[in-house]
Structure formats: structure tokens, C-alpha cells
Amino acid sequence: MTNQTAVILIDPYNDFLHPKGKLNPRLAESIAATGTIEHLKEVVATARKNKIPIYYCLHCQTDKYSFQGWQMMNWSLTGLKENLVFEKGSWGAEIYEGLEPNPDNGDVVVSQHLNSSSFQNTDLDYQLRQRGIRNLVLAGLVTNTCIEATARYGYELGYNLTMISDGTAGFSTEQKDAATNLIWPLFANRILTCGLEEPECHRCVSRGIKCSGPNNDRIYVHRNAENMRTQSHRGALRVAMQRRTAHYEPSLDPETQARTAAASTTLEALQRLVRSTQASLLSASASLTAKPVELFYSTVLDAFQPKHDTGVFSGDRVPSSATEGDCSSVAVCIRSLLPLAQQSERHIMDQSIFSLLTMYLSLLVKDPKLTEMARAAYTSAVGEFRLFIGSRFPAELAHPQTSYCQLFLALSTALQLFEYVNDMGETRSGFLTHHEGMLKLLQISGPGVYQSPYLLQSFSGIRGITVFVALQKRRPIFLSEPKWIYTPFLSRPKTRRELLHDIALGIPALLRRTDDLVPSLAQGPQGDLTGPSDRVQRLRIAQQLVTDFATVKSDLEAWFQNFKQSYAPAPIYWNTETVMDSAHAYTDPVCVPDLEDPKYQLRFRDGQKAGVLICYWSFLLELLMSLIDVQTAVASLARSEQPANEVEDLVEAVCGDLGANRAAADDSAFLILQSTPYLTCCLEGIFVTQSPLSLVQRYFAR
């Protein structure tokens, strides 16, 4: 509730924020990279709009007598004294323009802090408790000192903390990112941004500014219309963008998720349980063995177990073969962790699973209180995990035991998946930072530790997420090595999705080779290629790369043909304008697609096939985009001068199917867009579509 919430705005001084401020040179790079000033103004404006008071926590101001006689001066105090930073009565000690307090809004200027914490030796805690404030939103300067120290102190005092990661700045971007990604999660209940993500649209990328991406379908289509070769592409993208953002609307009634009484029973029971359970009994500090918490945890665990016709995941509600697997990698991972729950010697495992399941459940039933509970449990689990791995794993490196490796991997999977679910599958900076650590654990443990069928299923699911991350980063990954492709799966046949991932794991290496080669093919004003022999050599490198692209493309197409053939003569997908016998499709009673605009939509036999097909089209599109880049660069090189016969032959070999590849890329992008309405009618499909839709946006904005 807003009457229990306050913004804690720390040190918004001119000396920090203004280019002429005394300490601004040390912060300028981080302020610019983060957009700190713009976001602080947004925080203040939002507080004003919602009548939320702002508590101004200001560092002590100085004069020539400050700290006289002090004998325990730290480096921060020494710097203030020597440079008269925040000097009394000076412009530098004034609050930055646009961030000033407004008493009519209920703003409070608390007594000044001497060191980093705004609680220590001030009246902040007293002022907050007098007004019944329990929830604090922290922003201001400096990320690694005053913000962090104040948050830790507030955590100890029992306040609920929300921290604005782009409403702050550090003495370097690296320090700031380390705090927001690694340190803050240890004590913050929530870490939010002001809504501005990394630039996605071409206009903002080219200008080097931050934006929220193409979140308005009309603006996005208008800006990129010239890159969309047909009106159908524009219509499909418009529909896809509308569907992509629809699930964020808080006004959606969660009861509409269920279309039959049987399917709604589980969600309704869980919603009643959430409402009837006191939040204080489900806090991160509460033991999972305490009776109320144990009951809640057991009920949630039971809800995620496989149940014919009424389960949480779509694979429970429609018939599917063992070769199909679940609709999403998230579902695969969650199911793999359930057998590891409620083993008394692994409390940390339960804490991690509890945070993951409650987060997924909170999105399913759209309950913000449940979301807060999940994030609090996650913060506690991360803290325990770091202590656990710090005390056990180094000793195990010399003589690794399979049981410890398996436990470490299961824990890291649960925590990594929480971040993925929390980000709605968008792989933001927090997820990516911890993803590197999880991959390191995988690499250290080796491919031979997956004797447990549950751990193997967990590995399969996280691998499905990792392949999209590797494509996003455009760099090779060790999971593409033969020992990682084959050894973990020796105990059972692979699912169709796993076979697709085997092929896709080879694509990032091709993307990296493309990034290395294409700049060398570009002709500068004076010509970058030294002579005919050098030109021929690079064209041969390009030819080999195109050949390798063709091999992987052929493998993908063979996988697709095998998939279609296994269900022939019945189709696995079709356009909604095509009349098909209803026997071809299985209806999921919970996930019913809205087919009001059938022109730009596909239908599928079931959600499992839709999920794996959109991944296939995404892998194919990512490959084709880089292949086209290589072919275009070679074609441009050939046009820049009169080529010799040998060069002509090489250019023809490299670029002969450029037109066909462009058409195939268009088709793949269009199929992804047409799939989105079918998939985004339920939570699983939303996770599946995030990376493919980002890819399509990047394709049309090229």
C-alpha cells in the first residue's frame, strides 16, 4: 500500500550529479551509461503522481572546521575534508534541479549522515516508524557506498526493500553493475528498473541512446515498414506485438485462464491458499518445516506434479509422446527438480525450489504478494547457496564427488531458472551474469555426472535456454563439443527438442566466424584488401564459411522433414484460413488461442509442437541472417571493381543462392510471427516466444 511506502532518495547533490560538481568526474561515466539523472527524475515524478513521500537522505555538509580533532578518519571522510565536498552554503551542496523536496507531497529531509548509511546516527528510522512506513524504494548515489550501506541497515531493521538499479551510479560502470547484479540481491526484496532497457530498435542503436524497445506496435511497424517486404509481415508483426505485451496487463482476470471446471480447480485452490495464508508465515526467514509453511510448500509441490487433464503444464492436458517433451524448457526444468524436494538433509535445495515454484505460480495466478514472497525466498536461497558452495566446492575440485557435483548443478539450475522466470524469459543482465557462473559449474562437473534421470532432464531444460543465450552472444560454447552432445544422454534416447538443440548449438560458432570475417571483406576508401591474392584468400574463407552454414542448414531442414514425416499425412501446423479436420488438433482447455484475426495466425496439433517449431524457425532465421551478411559482403566486394575469373567463380559459389536465402529468412520470420498468438495464450508459451520475437524484431530492423 502506498501509505506504507516511501522513496529513500540519497545524496542527489550537484557535487555528484552536475557536470561541474566536485565529484562528478568520478561518476560521469556511470551516470551517462545508466541514464541516472533521467531515471531519478522519473522516480520523483512517479512518487509525486502516486502521493508517495520522498525521504531525502543527505550526506553531512562541510566547512573548514569539519572533522576537527577526529582521530578515526576513513578515506571517504578524508576526501570530503580535503576537497570541501558538499560545502555548506555552496551550490555543490544544493539538490540537483528537478529533484528538490516538496513538503506538500509529504517529503521529509532527515538529519544528515556522516558516513555511508543513512540510518546510522540519523533520525531516518524514527521518522519512518512515526509515519508507519514499512516499504522503502531506494535510489540515488553512490551505488556501492551509501546506497548499499543504507539498504543493508534497512534490511537489518526489517524494512521491505525495493532498489532501482538504473536510478543510481557508481565510481565506475563495473562497480555499479557488480553491486546491482551480485550484491543487492543478497538483501533486496526486489530490484527494478525505471522501464528503460537496452536499446533494441535500430534508431536508438544507431544514435547510441537507451530506449524501451519497440513496445508500441504501431511505432515499430511504421519505423521498419520499408524493411518488411509484404503487408502480411506488417500485419503479423502488429498482432504479435500486441499479444506479446498483453500478458503484462494487471487488469486481466486470472480466472479467465481456465476454460473448464476441471482445469481451473488447481489454480483456484492455490489462489485460496495464498489468500488464507499469512504473509508473515511465508517470509524468507521462516523455516520450510514450520507447519503453515510446510503445508503451503507441499500444496505447491503437489500442484506442479503431473496430473492427467488438470496439470499446471500443457503437456499434462493434451496427449503427447515421449519423443515430444514439454512445451517449454522452463517446464522441463521445473519437472526435473520436483523429485529433489523435501529431502531433510537438503534444506537449501527446498529453499531454491520453493522460490522458483512460487514465482512461477505468482505469474500464473497474477498475485503480486506471492511474487514478493518468491523474491524474498530467492534472496535467502542465494545467500545460503554462496555460503554452501564457498565452503564445499573448492575442496571438491581436487577430488570431485559425483554427489556434490549433482547437488551443485541442481541448485544452480533452480536459482538460474528463478531469474529466467522472474524476467519472463527475456534474459536480462542479472540472469546473464549468473548464467556464466552456472556454465562454469557445468564445465567443472563434466558431462559424465548425469546418471540421475532427473538431473539429466534438468540439464536438457537448461541447455534449451542456454542455446538462445549463446546465439544472442554470438560466441561458441563448450556444450557443442561431441562429449557434451553425446555423453549425458547415453542412458536414454533423445527427445525431438533435444535433437534440435544438438544442431543449434553449432550455430554460435558460425556467427562468431561471420563477425570476424565480414569486416575484413569491407572495402574502405583506399581499399582494405592489399591485392588479388589477399582478396582470393578471403573469398575462399568466405566460401568455406558458407559451406559450413549450408551443412548446418541442411541438418536443420532434415530434422524438420523428419518431424513432418512422423505425422504424415496429417499436418503438424496449418494456417487458420485452411479448413482442417478437427481430429488433427488437441484442445488444451486452459490455453485456448484467440483466433479473432485468423489472417496472421497458425494452428498446431498441440502446444508441444508449436513450442518446438518456433524454436526451429528461430534457429533457421538466426543462421540465415548471418549467412546473408556474408553473401552480401562478398557481393559488394565484387561490385567494387572488375573481378578476375577466379574471383568471379568464387563470388558465384558464395552468393549463388542469396536470393533464395533472403526469401527463406522472410518466410521464417513470418512463421514465427504467425505462431505467436497460438503460443501466448498461456504462460508457458510466453516464455517460449520471448527470444524468437526479439530475433524477429532485430531482423526487420536491420
User: 17-35 pLDDT, tens per residue?
Assistant: 998 888 888 888 888 878 8
Q: Residue 619 class from Cβ within 10 Å (0-12 exposed, 13-18 middle, 19+ buried)?
A: buried
Please check whether residue 631 is in contact with residue 661, taking contact to mean a CB–CB distance below 8 angstroms.
yes
Cell of 206: 544507431
Quick: pLDDT tens for 466-481. 999 999 989 999 999 9
Give one DSSP letter per residue of 489-534, joined into a string: GTTSPPPHHHHHHHHHTTHHHHHHHHHHHHHHH---TT-S--SHHH
Q: Calculate the alpha carbon distances from 500 to 133, 221, 512 in Å.
A: 52, 31, 20
- Distance separating alpha carbons of residues 552 and 357, to the nearest angstrom: 37
For 133, other C-beta atoms within 10 Å of its C-beta total: 22
Q: Calculate the alpha carbon distances from 278 to 29, 266, 275, 453 in Å.
A: 45, 20, 8, 37
One-letter amino acid for residue 557 of the chain: E
* pLDDT of 284 over the 80 cut: no
Please check whether residue 192 is in contact with residue 165, taking contact to mean a CB–CB distance below 8 angstroms.
yes
Q: Once rounded to an integer, what is the mean pLDDT over residues 87-95?
A: 92
pLDDT category of residue 658 using cuts at 50, 70 and 90: very high
Please check whether residue 171 is in contact with residue 26, taking contact to mean a CB–CB distance below 8 angstroms.
yes
Query: Which pTM value belongs to this model?
Result: 0.64
Q: Measure the CA dihedral 414/420/424/428, to 10°.
A: 160
Q: In this predicted structure, what is the pLDDT of residue 240?
A: 52
- List residues bridging with 604 in a β-sheet: 573
Please check whether residue 10 is in contact with residue 55, taking contact to mean a CB–CB distance below 8 angstroms.
no
Helical pair 231-246 and 217-224, crossing angle rounded to 10 deg: 150
* pLDDT of 534 over the 60 cut: yes
Q: In this predicted structure, what is the pLDDT of residue 280?
A: 46
- Distance separating alpha carbons of residues 61 and 288, to the nearest angstrom: 47
- List residues bridging with 9 in a β-sheet: 56, 139
- In CATH terms, the superfamily for domain 5-196 is Isochorismatase-like (3.40.50.850)
For 459, other C-beta atoms within 10 Å of its C-beta total: 28
pLDDT category of residue 292 using cuts at 50, 70 and 90: low
Residue 457: which of 337, 353, 356 has the closest Cα? 337
* pLDDT of 290 over the 80 cut: no
Quick: pLDDT tens for 150-203. 999 999 999 999 999 889 999 888 888 888 888 898 888 888 877 533 434 444
3-state class (DSSP) for residue 201: coil
DSSP 588: P
Q: Measure the CA dihedral 596/598/604/606, to 10°.
A: 0
Please check whether residue 159 is in contact with residue 150, taking contact to mean a CB–CB distance below 8 angstroms.
no
Q: In this predicted structure, what is the pLDDT of residue 502?
A: 97
Q: In this predicted structure, what is the pLDDT of residue 347?
A: 77
3-state class (DSSP) for residue 54: strand
Q: Once rounded to an integer, what is the mean pLDDT over residues 675-699?
A: 88
- Distance separating alpha carbons of residues 514 and 508, to the nearest angstrom: 10
Cell of 546: 558458407
Q: Where are the beta strands (DSSP E) in 65-124?
A: 108-109
* pLDDT of 604 over the 50 cut: yes
- Give the residue range(s) of CATH 3.40.50.850 domains in the chain: 5-196
Cell of 134: 514499512
pLDDT category of residue 260 using cuts at 50, 70 and 90: very low
611 φ/ψ angles, rounded to the nearest 5 degrees: -65, -40
Quickly tell me which residue has 507531497 as its cell.
105
198 contacts: CB under 8 Å, gap ≥ 6: 210
For 482, other C-beta atoms within 10 Å of its C-beta total: 8
SS (H, E, C) 393-406: HHHHHHCCCHHHHH
Q: Once rounded to an integer, what is the mean pLDDT over residues 596-618?
A: 83
Quickly tell me which residue has 540537483 as its cell.
96
- Distance separating alpha carbons of residues 319 and 585, to the nearest angstrom: 10
Q: Cis link prior to 142 (omega < 30° from 0)? A: yes
